[in-house]
Chains A and B, each alone.
Chain A
Amino acid sequence: MAKVILTRWLARQFTAGQIEHQVPGLTIRALARELEYRYPGIIKHLEDGVAVAIDGEIYQNAFLEKVEPNSEVAFMPPIEGG
């Protein structure tokens, strides 16, 4: 089970404020699908226009990235920069 951390905004919209979730899945896509099963409608906010930090490393447009069983997966706003 990966530890998924949602943004406060997503948590408010979809999970009654719960930010941390234990979610089974070996890729970001699998985690997103499982979260969609639990919280319908959330998936579009996990697949587009977000970045995700897997064990502290930031991935943008993550989709098929692998997740370890004990990984920490944090969804966060995308980063651009100058």
Chain B
Amino acid sequence: MAEKTYKWVGTRQPRPDGADKVTGRARFGADFDMPGQLVGKVLRSPHAHANIRSIDTSKAEALPGVKAVMTSADMPDMPDEMAPAGEVMVNLRDVTRNVMAREKALYDGHAVAAVAATTEAIARQALALIEVDYEVLPHVIDVDQAVAEGAPILHENLRTKNVDGAEDTLTNVAARIQFTKGDMDSGWSQADVVIEHAFTTKPVHQGYIEPHAAVASTTEDGQVQLWCSTQGQFNVRGYCAKLLGMETSQIRVTPSEIGGGFGGKTVVYGEPLAIKLSQKAGKPVKIVMTREEVFRGSGPTAAGAMDVKLGATKDGRIVAADLNIRMQAGAFPGAPVGPACMCSFACYDIDNINVVGFDVVSNRPKVAAYRAPGSPVAAWGVESAINMLAEKLGMDQLELRIKNAAREGTKTHYGPTFKDIGMAATLDAAKNSPHYQTPLKPGQGRGVAVGFWFNIGMDSSAACHVGEDGTVTLISGSPDIGGSRASLALMAAEELGVDYQKIRPIVADTASIGFNFLTGGSRVTFATGMAVVQAVREAIDELRARAAKLWEVDVEAVIWEDGCAKPAGSNVGDFEPLSLAEIAVNAGKTGGPINGHAQLNAQGAGPGFGAQIYDVSVDQDTGHVTVDRCTVVQDVGTAIHPDYVEGQLQGGVVQGIGWALNEEYIYNDKGQLENTGFLDYRMPVASDLPMIEPIIVEVPNPNHPYGVRGVGEVPIVPPMAAIGNAIAGATGIRMTDLPMSPPKLSAAIDAARVSEAADD
């Protein structure tokens, strides 16, 4: 594909929402208020696992100031089957139970009732007056313990999918999934060197700064307005309609600005409860989670326990790869075990692959998506094992990856054959980076790892409204998390040939634009970008038609260039170019407003590959790891707005460093979560981080008008393994359980010293 030059795409413009955000004017979820609004609060189970024998709300209802109390009895039960809600296939039986417990509380923090009252103090008092009769049951937190025989069973109705003869067996294993390629026996027989090891990760929270917040207002004729912080207002609408037995057209959802989501705001928690409470009270109800509620009640990402086995020839050709991974879904099935299995070996061209995954429930909050869901968990095991293989082969860690990199024509173990992909280009860029070329300082270790994400397309709608002065309103339905308003406006400016500042991109509510699938999967700049380009092109066609009318020529005789209608050739006639503003001001005379619309199911998302390099120092006495240097390399297709591409790369790395070094849920022996705040749930702070150097590789996606692939998911895939590999380089110790926190690493260093002393 020839290098294209653009006027706006690829430039670093101020973001349209920037001024509002830096001045504090932007309205996030908790910033919406309605006259007469009530405070909604949720009562949560203090037990990790308990039957709910009864709930008595009468005392709470009698408390002056309490306007509504609800339990699961106020919502219809749902059938145990997969159904679409906002285009996501979900088991609504599980969703309604996660939003509010029915027969059982399945984790500490599980919602069991909710109240709406005139003040927060009264609402809290009312919660204390609700009497729940629990029968506490044995609980299970750890994924491998949940699989073990005799483990407490969460769901009597659960049977393992895809396993013959499982019909009669009570289990916590919701599904088994397998992908294979080639012939494993033949693969192992070719191997000169074999590595086999077990690895585990911990669930980690997405850690968005803004807690979930929703305000619902209902009217007597059944109409609902909902303002909330979400990655997908249409998905919220879909969920709420199903859970409350309403029609989607009755619910209008307006997304607020969003203070981070990372996948965690793709589902509903307080939203349907706010609607139900509002319906019962006849007043608007606002539910804002506290940080503690976010940790206890909202989804982290899944953790995994896995066994990885790799075989290679002496010269470093990987000939066989096996992964068995058990993923923890939380209280209801739905761990991202499919993507974990598919991503696991996607970076490599290996002839013989066997991957088996299990979706396992345990007494923890139901997991939600988190950047590249599943992929980082598998990469922790696979990319650590790749380095162990390199050590055994005596090969450079990057050379081994280059030698086995997936390329055009590589058939994946999950089916498709790759076309033009950027894995090799990414690895080359990593190898040639200033970082990789710089020798380590004494005591440092260097680690490399790679990562993969599919990127997705899905449904988007967009509209382009040309104002009477020639400025443009660009309307999409994709909440802007990572700077997508800026990137969409850049593509529109490029198409229209007008100044970026003339374009005002907005994020519309569910009643003001057609359906948009949620912001996630690295889809918005790709898919909504495609819709925007199509909508703008439709507006341009209309602009040409209007110029043709003014000039009294055929529309084919008018071209659009540099923001103006121009005659296609000298034979058309002698016309001065007509600017967007000149055409717009005459729109009424030539046929009315000038708009463009587009709706599509964007197909052909281009897979994303990344490689990361870390240098670390380890305090040998305390086990404290300092990340001294980090370079993140990724093929993003085209970087529409390089600042926000770099921001996505750096942000993913930051979250990955936290995942690698400190983040974990700490449960007591009753299964209650103990670290429910950012003080003890240790995400990195700025001083924990080096400058993270981004290297953007651009192998354009041929299926997108500007070559976009997607950027947000891949950067969180490699960090954990890359840091583990760097620690191994610095200490000689291979860590296999996340997080690699100071106490754990210190204990491992001491154990190694003891065994070394014994060897001497």
What residues of chain A have their CB less than 8 Å away from a CB belonging to chain B? 5, 7-9, 12, 48-49, 53, 55-62, 65, 72, 74-82
Q: Could you list 25 A-B pairs, sorted by A, with CB under 8 Å?
A: A7-B415, A9-B177, A9-B178, A48-B89, A49-B82, A56-B416, A56-B418, A56-B419, A58-B457, A58-B605, A60-B458, A61-B601, A65-B603, A77-B339, A79-B456, A79-B521, A80-B266, A81-B371, A81-B455, A81-B521, A81-B523, A81-B713, A82-B266, A82-B371, A82-B713
8 tightest Cβ-Cβ pairs between the two chains A and B: A82-B263, A81-B521, A74-B415, A53-B416, A77-B338, A82-B369, A56-B419, A82-B371
For B264, B453, B455, B457, the residue with the greatest tally of chain A CB atoms inside 10 Å of its CB is B457
Name the B residues within 8 Å of A53 (CB-CB). 415-416
Q: Are A55 and B713 in contact (CB under 8 A)?
A: no
CA distance A81 to B263 in the complex (A): 7
In the complex the two chains form, is A81's CB within 8 Å of B415's CB? no
Chain B interface, >50% SS class? loop
The residues of A that contact B266 with a CB separation of less than 8 Å are 80, 82
Is there a chain A Cβ closer than 8 Å to B88's Cβ? Answer: yes
Collect the chain A residues with CB atoms within 8 Å of residue B206's CB.
82
B interface size (C-beta, 8 A): 48
C-alpha spacing A79/B604, complex, angstroms: 13
Interchain pairs with CB closer than 8 A, number = 107
Knowing A49-B89, A81-B453, the reply to whether A57 touches B703 (Cβ < 8 A) is yes
A60: chain B residues at CB < 8 Å are 456-458, 601, 603
Q: Is the CB of B417 within 8 A of A56?
A: yes
Residues of A within 8 A of B703 (CB): 57
Kindly list chain A residues whose C-beta atoms are within 8 Å of the C-beta of B614. none
B733 CB, min distance to chain A CBs, angstroms? 31
Q: Is B414 an interface residue (CB 8 A)?
A: yes
Residues on the A chain within 8 Å of B424, using CB: none
- Besides A61-B601, A76-B415, 7 other A-B contacts (C-beta < 8 A): A7-B415, A53-B416, A76-B414, A78-B89, A81-B521, A82-B372, A82-B520
Bound Cα distance from A5 to B179, whole angstroms: 12
In the complex, chain B residues whose CB is within 8 Å of the CB of A5:
415-416
**CB of B162 within 8 Å of the partner chain:** yes
Of A48, A61, A65, which is in contact with the most chain B CB atoms at under 10 Å from its CB? A61
With a cutoff of 8 Å between Cβ atoms, the chain B residues found around residue A78 in the complex are 89
Closest to B457 in A: A60
Against A, the Cβ 8 Å flags (1 = close, 0 = not) of B650-679 are 000000000000000000000000000000
Tell me, rounded to whole Å, the shortest Cβ–Cβ distance linking A49 to chain B.
Answer: 5
Tell me the complex Cα distance, A61–B458, Å: 8
How many Å from the CB of A22 to the closest CB on chain B? 16
How far apart sit A81 and B374, CA to CA, in the bound complex (Å)? 9
